[in-house]
Structure 1
Amino acid sequence: MINDNDLIETLEELEAFVMLVDKGGLGLKDVAGIALATNNSNGRPFVAVLDDKHQLLLGRWVTQEVFENGKEIVQFGGKKPH
């Protein structure tokens, strides 16, 4: 499920979203991973929260810039506070 009104526009917003998912702040069950992907029908980029069967639990649209530059944030997670 992706809400058209939820657009992640900056790398900081992406990092905050990843950290929120990692901490269980969205109440999602069976989260197995987070990935950047593109919609098959229109090519629009989004960040996907996936379960262990690679099914979409939650998605948020991202800008093209976030899609291109946010891969490390998604792969390695957000920064941990010092």
Structure 2
Amino acid sequence: MNNEHDAIDNLADLESFLVSVENGGFGLQGVAGIGMATNTKDGRHFIAVFDDNQSLLLARYVTDEVYENGKEMVRNGVQTKH
């Protein structure tokens, strides 16, 4: 998991993270999906980027608030603003 100090702690940062992944901002190859999950060892929530083989490409911790309120954003993608 990435540095704990880089945890996503608000919905604006979650949106920015998602847009960056979608636009190739992290230089990731073969992105197939993004999901939110809970670490079974310590109960912390995180967002994960996967490839076609369901291998983890990138992960960032998220706060409980972002986990609860950002699920739809992750599930449905970022809505573009007109």
TM normalised by structure 1 equals 0.92
SS at match of 1:41: coil
How far apart are the structure 1 equivalents of 2:40 and 2:52? 21
Alignment of 1:6-45 (within 5 A): 6-45=6-45
Q: What is the aligned residue count?
A: 82
Larger fraction in strand: 1
Gaps of 5+ in 1: none
Q: Which one-letter code corresponds to 1:27 in the other structure?
A: G
Q: Which one-letter code corresponds to 1:8 in the other structure?
A: I
Q: Which one-letter code corresponds to 1:69 in the other structure?
A: N
Q: Which one-letter code corresponds to 2:17 in the other structure?
A: F
In structure 2, the partner of 1:65 is 65
SS at match of 2:75: helix
TM normalised by structure 2 equals 0.92
How far apart are the structure 2 equivalents of 1:28 and 1:81? 25
In structure 2, the partner of 1:49 is 49
In structure 1, the partner of 2:2 is 2
Displacement after TM superposition at 1:81 (Å): 3.7
**Identical columns (%):** 52
| Cα-Cα RMSD | 1.1
Gaps of 5+ in 2: none
Q: Which runs of 4+ in 1 moved over 6 A?
A: none
Deviations 1:8-57 (A, max 9, x none): 01111101100110111110011101000011211100000111111111
